[in-house]
Structure 1
Amino acid sequence: MEHYYSQDSRRQALYEWACAYVKTNTVYQPAALDVVSGDASFRRYFRLQHNAGSYIAVDAPPAKENSRPFVAIARALYAHGVPVPQVIAVDFDQGFMLLSDLGDTLLRPCLSAERVDALYQLAMRELLRIQSCPAPIDYALPPYDQTKLLSEMALFKDWFVAQYLGLTLSPEEIALLDQTCVQIAEQVVQQPTVFVHRDYHSRNLMVLDERTLGVIDFQDAVTGSITYDLVSLLRDAYVEWPAADVERWVEDFRQMLQQQGAIAQVSQAEFLAWFDWMGAQRHLKVVGIFARLSLRDGKHGYLQDIPLVFKYLLNEIKAYAELQDVYRWLCQRILPVYVAKHAQAQPFLHEHLT
């Protein structure tokens, strides 16, 4: 295991800062600083071992990452009873944080066919708690409004189509795609608005015990549509479930919301349509983000996750009359170019290839 004596000045500085806190504020003796993970941002996570357990030490370079939203949101969620890491100490100037340790058991590897239903029920119940969380007192959650939704969907055209596939679209094609994005955004903003985690999926949930899931990576939280996090959870970019199971879970969540009085009477079909339109927005964005992570940031592993996300997108728009033109265009113009470039996508997308 890699330890703190690596030739890394920020890591060494983080280690010294964290040790100073531990020595001053606890009876524990710090030991090693071990790598936990990086993520799609510039943050890095380390485990600081001490003789009574461990903390998580976070390196978030201030020039690249603003830690204030993370801290404000973490404290709001923690106060609301959501199992998020407790903020033990923070130095905004250096970009260092010390958090309580939720362990190493991500939800993703625990999602077997036998356990998934029980685990998703836990995840949906935790999501209800998140959605009812009061806004942080020292940070205004950004609105997930039409402008933001449109700017995110533009990533598909700008990064996936233009830069990754190298396609130059005609004015008519650009108009079709732009008009579709406006349609989607207009539908989505009509949904009830709640506290949105914004990346609520199997790699950002931790199994703490049989009855509790921990929640991480919430620093991009916003106020937005009530189905956004549900899409992230049930149409996860990293694991696929049968459509019938997903629809059953969507219905379970609708009933949970209605039992809590969180939504007015909304039919099963209408709520599923909310879910699909929100999914179309998210998946246009995510395909673009995954292409950007590869092209701009050198994180090429995300390219392997595009086929499933693209499949979700096509399945979501296929059923709606208003989206038939863009569905046909994607199948005829974009898919053949994509599959020619990324042959591994063929099994995911074969039913949509004309």
Structure 2
Amino acid sequence: MDTRQTQLNDWLKTQFDRPFELTFAAADADYRRYFRATFADGDSVICMDAPPEKMRESVQNYLKVRDLFAHLNVPTVLAKDLEQGFVVLNDLGDTQYLRAMTDYPDEAGHKALLLEAIDELIQLQLASQPNVLPEYDRAKLLEEVNLFPNWFVAKELGKELNFKKKKLWDEGIANLLPVIEAQPKVYVHRDFIVRNLMLTRERVGILDFQDALYGAITYDLVSLLRDAFIEWEEEFVLDLVIRYWEKARAAGLPVHANFDEFYRDFEFMGVQRHLKVAGIFARLWHRDGKDKYRPEIPRFLNYLRRTTRRYHELAPIYALLLELVGDEELQTGYTF
């Protein structure tokens, strides 16, 4: 055991009066880790290790959003010590949606799981209220897209945006962001992906929601259907976007009455997210030495090229991508 795991083990002994075995369960892209404490009778709990010098604010956000999302199947807090950075949660199991989908690559099964996730997303959004979570505003959107030139272009490609390329970038972003800002706003999980959804006996379990904001209604749907680690054919995605749109309208969510306009919003939101994620994955490698996510960058470049070539407003971004990485589709992992 390392020092933090030993501290966690010692603290857990003060919380439970029965023996347990502590094993590693998962790690986030940041400094947070999760361990599973398993008791002799087979019961288990999940233990979050979030070093307070680095993660105090994030844990406080986690607890706040957990209460806000309590109508969903999110972990229940069983014990906590924020001074040490430890939180004990009930165990939602170890079957991620991603694992279920990669173990059983059946399109009909994938669609059934994603429709269940869409139902939960709608329930999340229906609870939305303004002035509860921070705004996903222009400053935040711009900060995120700038990760692309600052980390992917500068560090991963080792290039700079010259005058011509910078002009293309500025024009494309100036066309992109107003479409996103004009979208109706709801609670946004911000990482509603198949790695953060759990297959349980009751309903979809939802994890990793501490970065939630109040922003564009299409953001989480893009996160779910244009994922970093698994990819579906565009016709499959389009069908599910239509299913979401129909369900959202029936539920009274503020989506466009015209599907074409809604799909355009979905695609523009995707461009913002894909630029951001390519930058984040490059930063994780070049700044933090974490290479787990780097092989997935080509998937986001493919997403970006396919989308930006469809809309004349996004033509500057498409032209920039052609100059930076060319027009050839790049090979990635799981595609169904």
- Asked if TM exceeds 0.5, the reply is yes
Change (3 A) 1:265 1:35: closer
User: Which of 141, 148, 157 does residue 149 from structure 1 map onto?
Assistant: 141
1:307 is aligned to 2:298: yes
User: Which of 51, 55, 59 does residue 49 from structure 2 map onto?
Assistant: 59
Q: CA deviation at 1:129?
A: 1.0
User: Which of 206, 210, 216 does residue 219 from structure 1 map onto?
Assistant: 210
Contact residue 168 and residue 319 of structure 2 kept, 8 A: no
3-state SS of paired residue (2:31): coil
Q: 1:188: which partner in 2?
A: 180
Q: 1:168: which partner in 2?
A: 160
1:294 is aligned to 2:285: yes
TM-score (ref. length: structure 2):
0.92
Q: CA deviation at 1:177?
A: 0.8
Q: CA deviation at 1:229?
A: 0.3
User: Which of 88, 97, 101 does residue 91 from structure 2 map onto?
Assistant: 101
1:45 is aligned to 2:39: no
User: Which of 319, 322, 325 does residue 316 from structure 2 map onto?
Assistant: 325
Which structure carries more relative contact order (alpha carbon 8 Å, separation 6+)?
2
1:122 is aligned to 2:152: no
Map 1:132-281 → 2, pairs under 5 A: 132-134=126-128, 140-209=132-201, 212-263=203-254, 265-281=256-272
4+ residue segments displaced more than 4 Å: none
Contact residue 205 and residue 215 of structure 1 kept, 8 A: yes
3-state SS of paired residue (2:80): strand
Aligned-partner Cα distance in 2 for 1:283–1:34? 34
User: CA offsets, 1:169-202, max 9 Å, x none?
Assistant: 2123223212322321111011110011000011
Contact residue 314 and residue 327 of structure 1 kept, 8 A: yes
1:9 is aligned to 2:18: no
Aligned-partner Cα distance in 2 for 1:89–1:14? 12
Aligned-partner Cα distance in 2 for 1:44–1:244? 37
Contact residue 75 and residue 86 of structure 1 kept, 8 A: no
Contact residue 55 and residue 99 of structure 1 kept, 8 A: yes
Q: CA deviation at 1:76?
A: 1.9
3-state SS of paired residue (1:64): helix
Q: CA deviation at 1:64?
A: 1.2
Structure 2: gaps spanning 5 or more residues = none
Aligned-partner Cα distance in 2 for 1:173–1:21? 57
Q: CA deviation at 1:266?
A: 2.0
Q: CA deviation at 1:134?
A: 4.8
Aligned-partner Cα distance in 2 for 1:278–1:317? 11
Aligned residues: 325
Q: CA deviation at 1:265?
A: 4.8
Aligned-partner Cα distance in 2 for 1:175–1:88? 53
AA of the residue aligned to 1:51: A
Aligned-partner Cα distance in 2 for 1:96–1:262? 37
Structure 1: gaps spanning 5 or more residues = 1-5, 24-28, 340-344, 349-354
Aligned-partner Cα distance in 2 for 1:264–1:203? 26
Contact residue 31 and residue 50 of structure 2 kept, 8 A: yes
User: CA offsets, 1:181-228, max 9 Å, x none?
Assistant: 23211110111100110000110000002x621000111100010000
Contact residue 86 and residue 100 of structure 1 kept, 8 A: yes
TM-score (ref. length: structure 1):
0.88
